[in-house]
Structure 1
């Protein structure tokens, strides 16, 4: 190999390494979709969802057009992580339910927040 070829190879390898080091690490996320049902302020049924939700972070379930603080229901965990759903916001309170990957619950299960393992 010529000196210029070696220099070019070392330069390319160094550049690739610097790109890897400079890139921020991706946050751990559950792969898939988490779905839930809620009722709008007008009384219509709607479906909300979280795509590839972050793991280890509490998420208050958004329910656009619903009454403030209204509970959602009928969760469907179509992610590859366990979902723990809470009746209270901010993943607080003594009322919670664990949904393994690929499972769901009925309309009777009310929830306001969720955290994924």
Structure 2
């Protein structure tokens, strides 16, 4: 009888583990960049704790034809910046975690963390 009760307890615990929803992972920290706004004034944008494994189009420039530049990756994950909007171009650059940065000449429109 005790074997059956112990088995039932273990089986219930395993089933409970599979019913707990998975927590989405995120790169912890900030990813900053520069861009020019509609009035051609220099602005700074920041992504705070961005999700990992998802392509993120830079929100401030998504609706018009300008690029972000001078990225700085102060997250705990590597960041890959792309020249296009959907992280699919062959033009990309990898920024190391915790301080990786690019110059004013590094233009990009999207980024993925991982």
Q: Same fold (TM over 0.5)?
A: yes
- Output the CA distance in 1 between the equivalents of 2:68 and 2:56: 13
Q: Does 1:56 align with 2:53?
A: yes
Report the 3-state secondary structure (helix = DSSP H, G, I; strand = E; otherwise coil) of the residue aligned with 1:84.
strand
Q: Does 1:85 align with 2:92?
A: no
CA RMSD, Structure 1 to Structure 2 (Å): 1.9
Q: What TM-score results when the alignment is normalised by the length of structure 1?
A: 0.76
- Output the CA distance in 1 between the equivalents of 2:78 and 2:38: 30
CA contact (8 A) 1:75 1:105 kept: yes
Q: Structure 1 residue aligned with 2:25, among 24, 28, 37?
A: 28
Q: State the Cα distance separating 1:24 from its structure 2 match.
A: 3.4
- Output the CA distance in 2 between the equivalents of 1:69 and 1:49: 19
- Output the CA distance in 1 between the equivalents of 2:42 and 2:19: 45
Q: Where do 5+ consecutive residues of structure 1 fail to align?
A: 1-17
Q: Deviations over 1:51-96 (max 9, x none)?
A: 00000000000116x8613110000000000000001111011100
Counterpart position of 2:9: none
Q: Where do 5+ consecutive residues of structure 2 fail to align?
A: 1-15
The 4+ residue runs of structure 1 with deviation greater than 4 A are 20-23
Q: What TM-score results when the alignment is normalised by the length of structure 2?
A: 0.78
CA contact (8 A) 1:40 1:67 kept: no
CA contact (8 A) 1:35 1:77 kept: yes
